Amino acid sequence: MIHCLEGPGLKRSTPALPARKLDFSSASLNRAGGRLARRLAAAFIALSLAAPLAMLPQAASAAATKGPDTVADTAAQIMDAVVNISTSQTVAPSRSVPTPELPPGSPFEEFFEEFFKRRQQQGEDQAPRRVSSLGSGFVIDAAGFIVTNNHVIADADEVYANFADGSKLKAEIVGRDTKIDIALLKVTPEPDKPLKAVKFGNSDILRVGDWVMAIGNPFGLGGTLTVGVISARNRDINSGPYDNFLQTDAAINRGNSGGPLFNMEGDVVGINTAIISPSGGSIGIGFAVPSNTAIPIIAQLKEFGETRRGWIGVRIQQVTPEIAESLSLDRARGALIGSVNEDGPAAKGGLKAGDVVVSFDGKEVRDMRALPIIVADTPVDKEVDVVVIRKGQQETLKLVVGRLDEGTASPSAAETPEQKPDAPPPVTTRKLMGVEMAEMTPELRTRFKIKDELKGVVVMSVDAGSVAAERGIAAGNLIVEVNQEATLTPGDVENRLAALKKEGRRSALLMVADPEGQIRFTALPIE
């Protein structure tokens, strides 16, 4: 049998062999045995060489999944830039507990008076006490700028940075941002020699499964390094309007707050901020502020001592599959504009309630959460393109980004006394989609305290267990629009529903306002 390689594969050919006389002599057998031995030896060598080659892909795959052999070299370059943050503050003594009132002549009256009188005297004798806390931070500038979490230094009277070489320097708070829990410190006086500093990396290129290192001060033990992977991205843990956390299984414990999360090149890709743990110790679910979220905020704190976020003046809500179908969108995407602030950047740029923002300044708006983050990171006074879907058509608008006033609370509406006529006139109602509704009257406006400028169909009641009730529609709400057409009477609503049903629509998009004028959209199935 002759084997030959032709092209990429091994092919087999069997040519005819000439007739041969059989020879069983001793010499012949020796020659045959030699040939067999040589062939067996060659086959053994070939197999010996092929086996390791066949195992190479498996070995490479195993090496890729087991993680880095060591991070010691990288750690040696960055450990000195990580510091322990210690704080102290003065706490006033606890207030004394008032003596409870007991019925005169109670057998315990004298005992309680003596007990609480002694407690009050002890409280008056107590002096204000000092309490301390520990956290982590890292140097980002050789001149002494340090990043940590805001909650590490909140309410502190004194802040100190403790370095790996045993030195301890006082630090002043340059600025803080409570919304993403970041603070910038500066050691004072300026150090005699440049401090070891680390640089930020690009958190946007991180993938789930990438290896990372966390370094910090867990439980006050000092510089501690743990290794893990990125478990998830874009986590919303309901801690603020700009939640966009990296999740990691690298061990993060109490005292790690404010410490850095490094990639394998030694660049900071996150700031360790929070953990989920029933016991207070690591269970492998930790969260870090992405470096690309923190970088512009830190730059603002360094330059201005405060944040200067972008703002456009809109209220938004999630685009659900039902709302997407009602708006003729191909899928649930973007951020739905619920209302627009008068004289705000969005209003001046032409945005309207009911628009779905799918792109802002060239960045895709995947969902409702993405828009506030993108807007906040946009420089103030920058003119940007905003792509919206309006009544099924895509439009591009231009607006100039304003500045978010983070120190001004939203004004609350003034309370007015409720007026109830003794004999209110009868109201004609109609029930549609589980909602009993009526045309606006002065009596209904007064009864539900509806602002004078609001117009729409008044919701009188909602059937319990209906979809409308599940979606939060309640008595006193107004149905302002149905599929972006204004409605003033129950008849208007009924006509719009009939037209949508004729078009084959399965749900109707309602613009609903509360008595104060806060607008939102919800989709209800057409009966």
Which residues belong to the annotated binding site for substrate?
151, 181, 255-257
3-state class of 493 per DSSP?
helix
Q: How far is CA 521 from CA 268, 452, 456, in A?
A: 41, 21, 14
| Catalytic positions, written as ranges | 151, 181, 257
Joined tokens for residue 64: 């890729």
Residue type, 468: A
Classify 55 as helix, strand or coil: helix
Torsion region of 347: left, alpha or beta (phi above 0 gives left; psi -120 to 50 gives alpha)? alpha
Give every CB contact of residue 374 below 8 A, 6+ residues apart in sequence: 360, 361, 363, 365
Give backbone dihedrals phi and psi of 466, rounded to 5 degrees, phi first: -80, 165
d(CA 397, CA 415): 38
Helix H or strand E segment including 388: strand 383-390
**298: closest CA among 82, 136, 137, 140?**
140
**Residue 350 — left, alpha, or beta (φ > 0 → left; ψ -120 to 50 → alpha)?**
left
Query: Which residues are 133's β-sheet partners?
Result: 87
Structure-token pair, residue 215: 């370094």
Q: Could you tell me which of 298, 16, 3, 20 has the C-alpha nearest to residue 137?
A: 298
Separation between Cα atoms, residue 154 and residue 390, nearest integer Å: 45
Cα–Cα distance, 430 to 128 (Å, whole number): 66
Which runs of consecutive H residues, i.e. helices, occur in 311-378?
A: 321-326, 345-349, 370-377
Give the pair of three-digit tokens for residue 273. 């901020």
Q: Do 475 and 513 touch, CB atoms closer than 8 A? A: no
8 Å CB contact between 507 and 443: no
Taking each continuous run of H as one helix and of E as one strand, the counts in the chain are 11, 29
> Which residue, chain included where needed, has tokens 């919304």?
179
Residues 307 and 294: beta-carbon distance below 8 Å: no
Q: How many CB atoms lie within 10 A of CB 219?
A: 13
- Which of 313, 494, 275, 276 is closest to 402 using CA atoms? 313
Contact criterion met (CB below 8 Å) for 323 and 335: no
